[in-house]
Amino acid sequence: HSQTPTWLFRENYSGNGRFVNTATMDARLEFYVKSVMGHFYSGKYGSTLVYWDVCNETLHAQNSGWEAVYGSNKTNAVYVKKAFNYAYQVLEQYKLTNSVKLFYNDYNTYMEVNDVIKLVNYINQGKKVCA
C-alpha cells in the first residue's frame, strides 16, 4: 500500500488535489482490480495465474491514502473487503473460483496474528473469498 501513488486518492488524479470521497475511490478500486485481472485472464497466459495477492500490508500502513479516504480501522478495512469482492467477481466471470486463490499478505505477522485473523474473518463475512 505504501507504493500506491498519492494521486490515485485525489481529485482529478492530482497529487495536490483534495482526497476523493469513498464512492469515487470505490469506482477507482473496482476499475483497477477488474482491469488488471481481466487483462491477464483474457490473454494467453491467464491459465498460469492461480494465486493473487489482492491486498498487501494493510496492518502496517501508516498515513496512507487508503486511510485518508476510508478511515483507519485496519481489521475491518472496508476497501480491503471490497478489493477481495471485486477480485472474486472476476474469478466468477472466468469460472475460476475453484482453481484460483485470493490471499492477503503482510510481514511480521507473528506480532499481529490476531489482527490478521480478524481481518481475514472480516473479508470472508458473507462469502469466503480470501484463502
Residue 5 half-sphere exposure toward CB, CA atoms < 13 A: 8
User: What are the residues whose beta carbons fall under 8 Å from the beta carbon of 8, sequence distance 6 or more?
Assistant: 28, 65
Domain assignment of residue 67, given as a range: 22-123
Given this model, what pLDDT does residue 74 score? 86
Structural domain contains residue 96:
yes
Helix (H, G, I), strand (E, B) or coil at 66: helix
- Residue in 70, 77, 54 with CA at minimum distance from that of residue 20: 70
pLDDT exceeds cutoff 80 at 63: no
Helix (H, G, I), strand (E, B) or coil at 45: coil
In tens, the pLDDT along 17-27 reads 999 999 999 99
Question: Which of the pair, 72 or 52, is modelled with greater confidence?
Answer: 52
Structural domain contains residue 128:
no
Structural domain contains residue 129:
no
Structural domain contains residue 2:
no
Total number of domains constituting the chain: 1
Confidence of residue 3 (pLDDT cuts 50, 70, 90): confident
pLDDT exceeds cutoff 70 at 1: no
Given this model, what pLDDT does residue 23 score? 98
Beta bridge partners of 52: 102
Given this model, what pLDDT does residue 73 score? 83
Structural domain contains residue 15:
no
Structural domain contains residue 119:
yes
Confidence of residue 61 (pLDDT cuts 50, 70, 90): confident
Structural domain contains residue 53:
yes
Given this model, what pLDDT does residue 2 score? 66
In tens, the pLDDT along 76-123 reads 999 999 999 999 999 999 999 999 999 999 888 888 899 999 999 999
pTM of the complete model: 0.93
Structural domain contains residue 16:
no
